[in-house]
Amino acid sequence: MNTSELATAFELGIDTRITLAAAGLLFLLALLLGVWKYEQIRTSPDATAHVYVDIAHRATLLYSFATLLLAVFTELSSWPTAVNLTADIVVLIFFVAAIAAYIVHGLLRDTTNQFHGQTGKIGTNVSMIALIIGEVGGFGVLFAGFIAGQF
């Protein structure tokens, strides 16, 4: 099998390619956030970065690898491309929203606990329920597609 035949045999779906591109962008963002974190450590009297700069860096690293996992389940899912891509996008929206919140708190240095004083508030509860449904539900769709297609 030549290189062209091999590439055709392993061509990824557009849903998988988009999800892999998102994983790459998240990983690149994580590396850049690591530079920001290091700069804060380097210039801080106590050699630490703001807690939310640290959280943004670590969470983005984890989300980038989680997105790779989404891509694998997307590629192996038996659902239509539109279903898989929609599930991926829903999960990714919540990943990116969380990262954005961490970055904002890191820039503003306004808190060390974004939930302090927020628990029990309707907006916080609605946001967290939406996050839970979006992330768990989105992955659940992909995982169900994997199970349906592979077993």
Phi, psi of 31 (to 5 degrees): -65, -40
Tell me how far apart the alpha carbons of residues 100 and 102 are, in angstroms, rounded to a whole number. Answer: 5
Greater confidence (116 vs 147) lies with 147
Which structural domain, as residue segments, surrounds residue 72? 14-150
- Domains in the chain, number: 1
Query: Please, which pLDDT band fits residue 1 given cuts at 50, 70 and 90?
Result: low
Tell me how far apart the alpha carbons of residues 64 and 51 are, in angstroms, rounded to a whole number. Answer: 20
Q: Is there a domain that residue 9 lies in?
A: no
Q: Is there a domain that residue 116 lies in?
A: yes
Query: Per residue in 25-64, is it b (16+ CB within 10 Å) or e — as a string?
Result: ebbebbeebbebbeebeeeeeeeebbbbbbbbbebbbebb
* Residue 94 predicted with pLDDT over 70: yes
Q: Is there a domain that residue 132 lies in?
A: yes
pTM value is 0.91
- pLDDT tens track for 98-129: 999 999 999 999 999 998 888 778 989 999 99
Q: Is there a domain that residue 5 lies in?
A: no
Q: Is there a domain that residue 28 lies in?
A: yes
